[in-house]
Amino acid sequence: MFSRQPDVDRDRRRADLINRARLVRAHGWDDYRAVWSSGEVVGVAALLGGDHDIHEEFDESLQRVWARWAFDLWGLGDGQADVDDNCRQSRRWFIDTARAL
C-alpha cells in the first residue's frame, strides 16, 4: 500500500475491474452494488463511462474516483504525486482499461 505496486499487481487489478464491468453490463448493478466495496463499485462505474447515478449514490465524482484509485494503483508517494498532477496517470490507466473492455 505504501510503495508503488508492481505492474503485475496493476494488471491483476485491471483484469478484475474488467471482469466486474462485464458482469454489470450483463446483469446490471443490483446484484453487485451492495456486495462489492464502494471503491470497486465507483471504479467499475468510472470504467463504464462514468455512471453518474452510481457516482451520485456514493457521493463521488470521477475526479474523486481517480484520486481514490491513485493510491491503490501507484502507492502512497506516487499516488499523492498523481493526485497533485490532477490524476493524470490514474485517468490514463482507466482510459487504457476501458479500451481493453
Q: 0.85 cut: is pTM over it?
A: yes
Residues 6+ apart with CB under 8 A from 31: 23
pLDDT digits (tens, 9 = 90+) for 14-44: 999 999 999 999 999 999 999 999 999 999 9
Domain chopping of the chain, boundaries: 7-100
Count, in order, helices (H) and strands (E) of the chain.
Answer: 5, 0
- Distances in whole angstroms, Cα of residue 79 to Cα of each of 87, 90, 92, 93: 8, 9, 13, 13
Q: Is it the case that residue 5 has pLDDT exceeding 80?
A: no
pLDDT digits (tens, 9 = 90+) for 53-84: 898 888 999 999 999 999 999 999 999 999 99
DSSP string of 13-25, one letter each residue? HHHHHHHHHHHHH
